[in-house]
Chain A
């Protein structure tokens, strides 16, 4: 096991904790945009797709690279646009975020 692998495992573990921490108190109202937004974030696979596509030279690797870039781009672009469209619609009745009569 080399050093860079250990570093990557460290990133993995820390990111998992951050992921749990960041969304542990999301109100139900935002479940859809949150899921859709995180959906767009895993579109980061586009970087991986670019890495394999950039150096493609055999017909097979060209085909694989193309499909990977295409799918990943749909994921990123569609994900962010659709999330924005949903969030655009969320409005409170009052600028302050609504009437809190109870509690």
Chain B
């Protein structure tokens, strides 16, 4: 590597770090993204310049073609995706990166023509193949679950963990075979295929509500696979950028699992969200819900001083973000103070609700994080829960037997009264009954979130 190349890659790495840094404050974030993109253009552009004399005719053709098609597909996908479909889009962009990392390593092993690779390139090669392959296939399943191409509930079968453990062992064995005995093509091809199978098997038992953690974890995986590929092809730009993402993704994954009050192992292997038998029913007592009408609810909201809106995945499904904004505008016009309480794992990816509400032009300073808003509920007149369930479930605080016991929640039950907009009485994705619905101060309005909010807004306007 020449000195000039080293400096160009160093500059690119600095731009990535600055970009990530800007991304951590709302005001600099957009600029941060472009700073990072500039680093990318620099690094890739310089690589093309370096490679220029070495392109084979076929190589030049596939690079140009792959680049053109990829750029069109990426731009069209990114521009046309609905904000509500953002989690699956991010999952897909992540998965293809993992796939590319695995292929780079495969291609390097292929160049050895069956010889056993030296440990220092062989180890990162098998790592990139396995982790990149898992990320590719796992992201594919996450995409299918989020896009509702398949069921969002965990898919389990007897002996699943044993099968997965066996798969992992075989993968490990193949890695040892590549490193210690032979770099023959059938061996690492089998390794790649099994990594793909493992990626599928790994995400199948994970429920929809745990997707924020999975997406974030797969993002970290791809980062690490890319870093490993950097070791393989001897390029430190890949090592630095991949590791940055691997580290930040790992940290984000930890934040997400902390926000669920569960360990990462429990999320990955607990098959959380299977319908639970008998849980929550032990509470007994008065289990009637109080259905309200749009008119009652409009009156309650319009004559209160402070209202907090708690959005959840139901809001995303119904694409109700714009009507929620209209309702908030109407209320503010009447002098009601409106804020939004955002649970860190509401929705299907980290920060999902923030993105949706931002699309509806809700100013981000009205969106309050859990720790900030929890002390406020007790001096709030009405909490409006829209399509959220588990993140408001007081059982997480009060019932040590509950599967979500210990998960930090939004303490909406502290407010004077609570309104829950919900599609039906079905339990949330975690499959757990919510005592909040039976609380005497809770009124329920059943139906599609968008329709319900529109009705309430119309009533508020006519008051």
Instruction: State yes or no: do A and B come from one complex.
Output: yes
- The interface residues of chain A, by DSSP majority, are classed as helix
Instruction: Give the number of residues in A that approach B within 8 Å (Cβ atoms).
Output: 88
List A residues 1-58 near B (Cβ within 8 Å): 1-2, 4-5, 7-8, 11-12, 15-20, 22-57
Flag if A45 contacts B100 (CB, 8 Å).
Answer: yes
Flag if B58 contacts A37 (CB, 8 Å).
Answer: no
Flag if B244 contacts A38 (CB, 8 Å).
Answer: yes
List B residues 68-82 near A (Cβ within 8 Å): 69-71, 73-75, 77-79, 81
Flag if A48 contacts B229 (CB, 8 Å).
Answer: yes
Total A-B contacts with CB atoms under 8 angstroms apart: 393
List B residues 393-422 near A (Cβ within 8 Å): none
B362 to chain A, nearest CB (A): 9
Q: Hey, which chain A residues are within 8 Å of B101, CB to CB?
A: 45, 48
Which chain B residue lies CB-closest to A38?
B245
In the complex the two chains form, what is the Cα distance from A64 to B34 in whole Å? 30
CB of B59 closer than 8 Å to a CB of A: yes
Known: A8-B236, A91-B361. A71 touches B70 (CB 8 A): yes
In the complex the two chains form, what is the Cα distance from A79 to B100 in whole Å? 14
Q: Which of B85-93, B300-308, B310-318 contacts A (4 or more CB under 8 A)?
A: B85-93
In the complex the two chains form, what is the Cα distance from A48 to B230 in whole Å? 7
Q: Hey, which chain A residues are within 8 Å of B58, CB to CB?
A: 56-57, 62
List B residues 207-250 near A (Cβ within 8 Å): 215-216, 219, 222-223, 226-227, 229-250
Flag if A48 contacts B78 (CB, 8 Å).
Answer: no
13 A-B pairs within 8 Å (CB atoms) are namely: A18-B244, A20-B247, A23-B20, A35-B350, A37-B36, A39-B90, A41-B20, A41-B241, A42-B222, A45-B101, A74-B73, A82-B90, A97-B26
Please report A residues at the B interface, Cβ cutoff 8 Å.
1-2, 4-5, 7-8, 11-12, 15-20, 22-57, 60-62, 64-94, 97-100
